Structure 1
Amino acid sequence: MKNQRQTGSEAEQTACTWLEAKGYRLRARQFFSRWGELDLIMQDEETLVFIEVKMRRSARFGSPLEAVTARKQQRLTRSAQAYLLQHPHQGPLRFDVVGIVMEAGQPRLSHVQNAF
């Protein structure tokens, strides 16, 4: 059985591949700061996008998108500030969430741009 970290890494890779097919370019994965981890940092044209990936084995207990609480948003924002101190960006910024729900063994992805 896979541990939570392996499952999370696989979900992030699934989301990354899906977003790259939509034209996004990967800048960084799993950026760690004292406030937490940014799953994916990607470029959408001129916009730098910080992407939180959430996965659920089923939608029975709610959407994975609902798991990004106000506290989680605050931690992601602080982590993004830490990233920008190390990697300045002059263009627009955005926070997106990609939710993945497994249905019959296949991932179903949803993408919310400007999630917060």
Structure 2
Amino acid sequence: MMVATQTNDLKVETQNNEAPSSININYHNVKKASLVLRALNHKLRQQILTLIETEKKITVTEIYVRLRLEQSVASQHLAIMRKAGVVTTQREGKYIYYLVNYKRIDELNQCVQEMVA
């Protein structure tokens, strides 16, 4: 029997002696996790991340010039990466620099390793 609750959770209960007797899945968290993983599973975003790592910190202007992108394209991809937490920003005067969030990358690597192990 399947019962969906209002919090985007799915509860599955078995009627016979199968283990486990119930499975709880929080679909909201699954969706958030998939957005984070998709942020890294994109060739252009991987190139952007590599460029940021190489330069240590870099502006959106430097990114779109170096990768020959439209400014709006670079900004959209950076927004996705920032929302996923894989990059952070640092303001210095009138400039905003992008930096790799190594702690978040390490957390994602550990999570993925556990999932595929």
TM-score normalised according to structure 2 size: 0.24
Higher alpha-carbon Rg: 2
| Highest RCO, 1 vs 2 (Cα 8 Å, sep ≥ 6) | 1
**In proportion to residue count, which structure has more strand?**
1
TM-score normalised according to structure 1 size: 0.24
